[in-house]
Chains A and B, each alone.
Chain A
Amino acid sequence: KQEVTQIPAALSVPEGENLVLNCSFTDSAIYNLQWFRQDPGKGLTSLLLIQSSQREQTSGRLNASLDKSSGRSTLYIAASQPGDSATYLCAVRPQGAQKLVFGQGTRLTINP
């Protein structure tokens, strides 16, 4: 059974720092991995989607990497801003499954 873990559960950093959020999964047989952002009281917004054949994806100040063999993904946020404060979730789509398996999320706070 696929399990996704995100550590730490919460992270607080000063504005301007570069930071890395971690995601690990137990089964490397995946179609893709997706990072989402969730603001309080809101739904999830997709940030980056990495297909299983890819190593990384970039969007603006965000860079997500995927190491399928080790079951790890990282989300790198450069030059963090208070507006980046949110909960970040990663999710994998297992091969042969029509669903996403989510981690519990990392609640990120950027302090001005």
Chain B
Amino acid sequence: NAGVTQTPKFRILKIGQSMTLQCTQDMNHNYMYWYRQDPGMGLKLIYYSVGAGITDKGEVPNGYNVSRSTTEDFPLRLELAAPSQTSVYFCASSYSSSLGLSGNTIYFGEGSWLTVV
């Protein structure tokens, strides 16, 4: 019963370093998302994907990249880490049968805590 799995759970990066946050889901969901959550704030959408090979920007995409080569995996890449990217990152997935429908419950991973120093 894995659901949405994110790795690593915690990471400290130096300014300018790069890293990839991994996300995989085993529910055969077509939609996948990356959100970030800053202290005391709601979640902001970074990128999302409606299926393998299709990705699109969310509200705060600058400094990040994604790819979706398979249904299961949706990695998030930070190319040149900056202190402003210190945050908690959540991957999520859901299933919708077609664009425009109301959508179903969204499932979240447990989060990845990233600190950039």
Q: Number of B residues whose C-beta is below 8 Å from A?
A: 29
**A98-B56, A102-B43 as given contacts; A49 in contact with B104, CB under 8 Å:** yes
B106 near A102: Cβ-Cβ < 8 Å: no
Chain B contact residues: helix, strand, loop or mixed = loop
A45→B107 CA distance, assembly (Å): 7
Instruction: Tell me the A residues contacting B by CB distance below 8 Å.
Output: 4, 9, 31-32, 34, 36, 41-46, 49, 51-52, 89, 91, 93, 96, 98-105
The CA of A41 and the CA of B111, in the complex, are separated in Å by 8
Interface of A is mostly: strand
A4 touches B33 (CB 8 A): no
Contact surface of B with A, Cβ cutoff 8 Å: 4, 31, 33, 40-45, 48, 50, 56, 58-59, 90, 92, 99-111
A sample of 4 more A-B contacts (CB under 8 A), given A103-B42, A104-B42, is A31-B102, A43-B111, A44-B108, A96-B100
The answer to whether B105 touches A49 (Cβ under 8 A) is: yes
Complex CA distance for A31 and B92, rounded to whole angstroms: 18
How far, in whole Å, are A104 and B56 apart by their CA atoms in the complex?
24
Give the chain A neighbours of B111 by CB distance below 8 A: 41-43
> Inside 8 A of B109's CB, which chain A residues have their CB?
43
Instruction: Give Cα A12–Cα B111 distance, bound, in whole angstroms.
Output: 26
User: Could you tell me the distance between the alpha carbons of A99 and B45 in the complex, rounded to whole angstroms?
Assistant: 7
Contact present for A32 and B106 (CB under 8 Å): no
Chain A residues near B107 (CB-CB < 8 A): 46
Give, as a whole number of angstroms, the nearest-CB distance from B49 to chain A. 9
